[in-house]
């Protein structure tokens, strides 16, 4: 949930809960070029070439909204091995529950669906897509052809090597 004093999200697609109705409601959100540019700063990426997320929203008997999402993005990251920038596709399938603010569960089971509180009858699918993209990013991005240097082949020399004791022949 975004605190009241926080700036608005870079990628916002609010949906009124009452619009969802009793049957499943499908919606697709796609970030504009300006929104993707703003998200690169927040997510510390070189660029985001595409960000699209499909949602299927369903009301639950307890007043929550169950959301299933399919995220697809194209991001440019910096390789941790070569420091080269490279384009990487990101895909993710996820489930979350939107619950009215103040009715969040105390359950800390890591296997349960994430609960996202909402207020004023509105949920923000753009912000959820952004959060899911952040979770799906590789924290140690590696360009497909990047290889680590072979440390055994290189014998590091130290400025103190000359001070090392000499071994006597036995």
CA–CA distance, 146 with 140 (Å, rounded to integer): 12
pLDDT at position 152 is 57
pLDDT at position 151 is 60
What is the Cβ-side half-sphere exposure of residue 92, based on CA atoms within 13 angstroms? 22
Domain ranges of the chain: 14-144
pLDDT at position 161 is 67
Per-residue pLDDT of the chain (170 residues; tens, 9 = 90+): 455 567 778 999 999 998 998 888 999 999 999 999 999 999 999 999 999 999 999 998 888 999 999 999 999 999 998 899 999 999 999 999 999 887 777 777 676 778 888 889 899 999 999 999 999 999 999 998 877 766 655 555 677 766 767 766 66
Three-state secondary structure string covering the chain = CCCCCCCCCCCCCEEEHHHCCCCCEEEEEECCHHHHHHHHHHHCCCEEEEEEEEEEEEECCCCCEEEEEEEEEEEEEECCCCCCEEEEEEEEEEEEEEEECCCCCCCCCCCCCEEEEEECCEEEHHHHHHHHHHHHCCCCCCCCCCCCCCCCCCCCCCCCHHHCCCCCCC
Cα Dmax for the chain = 88
């Amino acid at each position: 949930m975004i605190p009241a004093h926080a700036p608005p999200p870079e990628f916002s697609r609010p949906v009124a809960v009452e619009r969802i109705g009793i049957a499943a409601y499908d919606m697709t959100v796609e970030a504009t070029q300006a929104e993707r540019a703003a998200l690169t700063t927040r997510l510390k990426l070189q660029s985001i070439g595409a960000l699209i997320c499909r949602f299927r929203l369903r009301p639950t008997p307890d007043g929550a909204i169950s959301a299933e999402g399919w995220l697809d993005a194209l991001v440019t990251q910096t390789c941790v091995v070569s420091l080269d920038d490279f384009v990487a596709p990101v895909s993710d399938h996820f489930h979350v529950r939107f619950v009215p603010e103040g009715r969040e569960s105390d359950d800390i089971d890591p296997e349960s669906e994430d609960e996202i509180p909402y207020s004023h009858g509105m949920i923000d699918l753009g912000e959820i897509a952004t959060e899911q993209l952040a979770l799906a990013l590789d924290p140690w991005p590696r360009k497909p052809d990047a290889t680590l240097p072979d440390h055994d082949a290189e014998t590091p020399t130290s400025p103190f090597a000359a001070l090392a004791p000499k071994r006597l022949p036995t």
